[in-house]
Structure 1
Amino acid sequence: MTVAAEDQDKRLRKGRRAEKSELTRNRLFEAAIRLVGDRGYAGSTIRKITSHARIAHGTFYNYFESQQDIFDQLLPYLGEKLRQYLETRLEDNVSFFERQDVLLVAFDDFIQENPAFYRVLTEAEVFAPKAYRVYVADNVEWFIRHFSADRRRGEFDAIREQQLEVIAFILMASHHYLNMRFSNWMGEVTRMPSWAVETFRDFVRGGMMSVNGRQDLIEPPVQADLTAPAASSAPASADQPTEIVKFTPRPADTELSYSAQSIQLDCRTTHIERGHVVVELDVDRRTLNSRGAVSGGTLTALMEIAGAAAMHDRAHQLSAETISINCTVIRAATEGVLCADSRVENAGRNIRFVTIRITLDGVDGPLIAQGTVTYRVIE
């Protein structure tokens, strides 16, 4: 065999080894995706992944350093798979509006073919935060790259470069939550209805035309000083929130502690069914702040109590720890009965999300606060 022939043979063998290596890595990824979709990250071990992939346990370490290593690469791998899938549905030089129509439907189709996607995504924020950040950054970059091509063709020439990231996040959130609601609601995979697609289409068209045509009206947002004393004791209007409370509690906490105060609430449950609970709390001196209104800490504590009651699975007696609470206070309340209406909106095996509305003097009363509580289920 000549030297040239030997070199060619070596290149062929090297190429086959690289191809085989990539196939093995992808088999491990796909097995991990199926497992996380079925059992969550907490229920997916190296041994289970290699067993599902039909690959020797020791071979796993030729590709990943640890279980966390494959978790940190899993969502970016699935994100790349999603973007490649979307690209195949796009024609060259398609307009911005045409692309949004195609992407929403294509995202829906991807969910039908990859039902484990949402659990891999939603639980990654807790179990693989590094992967979650990479996934978001890669998707934003992908959207902005397409926006830049639109602008080079003369579309939306009045929109500033710095606004593209905001638009990318808006569209990403729309795709995510619309498909979660209509394509994979509570684990039930369905098809997105045409009227939902049409509503999204009209909303995007109106919003983009407004932003593109009204640049002279854009001003820096006014930052409210929430630490300053109130100028008046009158309740705030519904379109002017008084404060926003966000926190991440410590798992070891034995009391609900917010805003440097400990709160012990005497609540009562007035309605309960699977995934839906109403909890009431009488407003008294202990629940008020120095301005005479119900404190943000009280409202946040009430949200956690009502949320935990709504997501509690009595059949299996699951316990859970609070990961985060996002509470937006809409208007002040000085007296009466607070009514926390909580509903489980989306749930996985290990992560649950509960939306809560706090109203005054009944579920149909004035809206006082609203927000979301995220829980990690402990088995």
Structure 2
Amino acid sequence: MATVTTRKVVKSFGNVEVIHGIELNVADGEFVVLVGPSGCGKSTLLRMIAGLVDVTSGDIEFDGRRVNDVAPRDRDIAMVFQNYALYPTKTVRQNLGFSLKIRREAQAEIERKVDAVADLLGLTKLLDRLPGQLSGGQRQRVAMGRAIVRQPQVFLFDEPLSNLDALLRGRMRSEIKAMHQRIGTTSIYVTHDQVEAMTLADQIVVMNGGRVEQIGSPLELYHHPVNTFVAGFIGAPQMNFFKGRILSQAGQRVADTAVGVLPFDIDVATDDGREISYGIRPEHLGFVAEGGFEARVKLVEPMGAESLVLAEARGEEVQVLIRDESVPLPLPGEIVRLAPQRGKACTFDAVSGCNLVAA
């Protein structure tokens, strides 16, 4: 296992700079997820760590050793890609052991390692099958097994689950997390799916436009986003944002927003009249008999254990996530009153988008 460090890493294609001086520290045995929208540079950064893409400037280090000029095969890494990249004419056993055969390990040692990995990933009964005889999830397990059997210092995952259906993605997420808990190898995982990031990561790196917006644990990013980008990207459904300003009324500070006057119970020193963006997650809005603000229900989406209510308040779209099955669902067209839970709102500067608490 190894630590992975990037020091002011820059990548340019011609005159276009796509990675802007990224600094990242991955601890030994840590599972770090790079997440962000398409085109944010997360896969480019991963491929630079792997040695598949050259670094324009800056350094990449494994255990403190600079590896910029070290070939991918000599970095002691293993990659799992979006496409399985299995040899179609080789059995599962042969696919798993191929890299060990290339390294000219003894046949008995190859068989021992292959059997151990097959047992770890539930592939023992499939060892004599060809990839064409496997399901998508089984092929992905073989691809992971081929990486594990090499016992590398670092695992690199490049959106490995994006080709799978929703149910299978959930199962494979669990398998990857359980595998990491058993093996403990340093892992860097790229995805655009924030649900994957939240469920898998020890630390999440949120990227945007080739820059790092925030690094933290899943709950840190969920409860304390540094800006509106992170707040809107982490969490599903997305956080509600209402434009407004801070005021003092009857000796109390409030947020006068586009949907109405809302409580401002955040301990932050700022002047009255400051323009803000008031953020509240759908799961932190609830129905009330009085107070709050008025909204008209547009659509109700029951999803089993929870229901999503889409409403409109003064021309603003509002999302409410109901997780209490005892709460009766409103009907489309019904007028309801909504109020945020105390202490759950985030307040961002209207211009910079920065969280006022974190500023």
Q: Which has the higher contact order (CA 8 A, sep 6+)?
A: 2
Same fold (TM over 0.5): no
Q: Give the TM-score of the pair, scaled to structure 2.
A: 0.26
Q: Report which of the two has the higher share of strand.
A: 2
TM-score by length of 1: 0.25
Q: In proportion to residue count, which structure has more helix?
A: 1
